[in-house]
Amino acid sequence: MDCIVKHGTVVTAAGVMHADIGIKGEKIAAIGQNLEGDRVIDARGQYVFPGFVDAHVHLQMTVGDIVTGDDFASGTIAAACGGTTTVIDFTSNCRGDDLLEGVTARRAEADGHVAVDYSMHLTLADATEKTLAQLPALAEAGYASAKMYTTYEPIRLADGEILRLLATTRDCGILPMVHAENHDAIAYLTAELLGQGKTGPRYHPLSRPPLVEAEAAHRVAVLAQLVDAPLYIAHLTCRETLDTVLAARQRGQLIYAETCPQYLFLSQEDYERPGFEGAKFVLSPALRDRANWDVLWQALSVEQLQVVSTDHCPWYYETQKVLGRDSFAQIPNGAPGIETRVPLLFSEGVGKGRLSLRRFVEVCATGPARLHGLYPRKGTIAVGSDADLVIYDPDKEVTLSFKTLHQQVAYCPFAGRTLRGYPRMVLLRGQVIVQDGEFVGRAGQGQFIPGRPFAFH
């Protein structure tokens, strides 16, 4: 063995055990007792988790003429420091763009810059014959999931387009994800609010309340039922949408859903912060009332929700969020979170008894890897899996602040919280890339990991 991680408490979604892990090259080669190798990492008193998988990030994403604050290098360095060794981003093509060209262009932006491994969801922004015809080859090439939007110009889809895309993705093994919000309802409510002079960030959640999300999720779930397609609801925020997911599952549908830390820790009260500070929390779907926190924690713990991802989408406050000073509808949507997901979920989930250790690993690593075609190469600790490991100090206390994080934007939505438990060391394919909170790897070392087709039938 090249390296042994010794004496740690190894946690997978299947169980917890005291074992040594042997690494040969980039892979896990043995799990057992008293293993020997050239180099030893002592994990006594620490947990050993699989490298975590963030299935929803927007690095270097252009919207209009602005670009999100983390590029592929800075965003993935931040991810690594927070224990995430695989991220899944999106292609950024719009309606009418050639999807294949969009994929090639996006890969060119990421390849050679990422610091952790990555995969990519397709963005489906139209349902032309050309787009549909390109999907089988893209699935073969490792694009195993795709996001559809029910709102946002110029990427939103009409119901007929969603139906055609659902039928085609079903046939070629691509898992369809949906951003579910009723576009016309948002437009109506926004016009009403702005017409009454209600322009500040605090009105953002009133323009996109829970029913706006639940209606669209229900509609797309029914469309999926019509063509017998699986479905993944992105960034689920509230009881109303959870109810639509559970009802669809009750009808026998294969439907999955993710939530994000912002919906577990932040609320619409954050929009009331003084001055224009509330703009930092403008993201969509919007933050909800606190009653939803328990709903979502409970749903995670009883396996009603499958994934916690970040929807990391960081906009600079001084130059980008301020574009919406005169209207909340012009505030760029999104917030940073790629580095804080795992420590937040461990401290407030495992530490406070809301999630078991196994469930924590399931929703932050194994579940996303499985659903997006990366398992068992990613998302678990098993012989033959990539040696992506997080040596985790359960007692280290960290008070979150943008100053100590590696994300580029100068704010952290979760700032001021003191968390217990933090990554001490992170390995990517057998190489140490984070040591005591600092990135010691190389931007560019990350590889594209093709997703295996989603096995629906």
Rule CB under 6 A: which residues touch ligand URP?
58, 179, 283-284, 311, 313, 333-334
In the complex, what is the shortest distance from the CB of residue 260 to Zn ion, in angstroms, rounded to a whole number? 9
Binds 205: which of ligand URP, Zn ion, none (CB < 5-8 Å by kind): none
- Give the nearest distance from C-beta 152 to ligand URP in angstroms: 7
Site string for Zn ion, 300-339 (x = CB under 5 A): -----------x----------------------------
User: Which residues make beta-bridge pairs with 420?
Assistant: 397
Map residues 152-191 to x or -, x wherever contact with Zn ion holds by CB under 5 A: ---------------------------x------------
Separation of alpha carbons 403 and 410, rounded Å: 7
Least distance from ligand URP to the Cβ atom of residue 346, Å: 23
121 binds Zn ion (CB under 5 A): no
- Count of residues making up the chain: 457
Shortest Å distance, C-beta 334 to Zn ion: 7
Q: Please give the Cα distance from 31 to 9 (Å, whole number).
A: 12
424 binds, among ligand URP, Zn ion, none (CB under 5 to 8 A by kind): none
C-alpha to C-alpha distance for 289 and 363, rounded to whole angstroms: 23
| Cis before 394 (ω within 30) | no
8 A C-beta contact, residue 170 and residue 456: yes
SS3 per-residue string spanning 393-446: EEEEEEECCCCCCCCCCCCCCCCCCEEEEEEEEEEECCEEEEECCEECCCCCCC
Minimum CB distance to Zn ion smaller for 23 or for 178: 178
- Closest to ligand URP by CB, 240 or 386: 240
Q: In the bound complex, which residue of the shown chain has the CB atom lying closest to ligand URP?
A: 333
User: Using only C-alpha atoms, what is the Rg of the chain?
Assistant: 21
CB of 307 to ligand URP, least distance (A): 14
Question: 56 or 354, CB closer to ligand URP?
Answer: 56
In this structure, the number of other CB atoms found within 10 A of the CB of residue 440 comes to 13
| Shorter beta-carbon distance to Zn ion: residue 20 or 258 | 258
Q: Which does 283 bind (CB under 5 to 8 A by kind): Zn ion, ligand URP, none?
A: ligand URP
Q: Are 216 and 241 within 8 A, CB to CB?
A: no
Task: Kindly state the DSSP code that residue 277 receives in the 8-state scheme.
Answer: G
Distance (Å, whole) CA 114 – CA 447: 7
Residue closer to Zn ion, measured from CB, 310 or 366: 310
CA atoms within 13 A on the CB side of 110: 29
Contact residues for Zn ion, defined by CB under 5 A: 179, 311
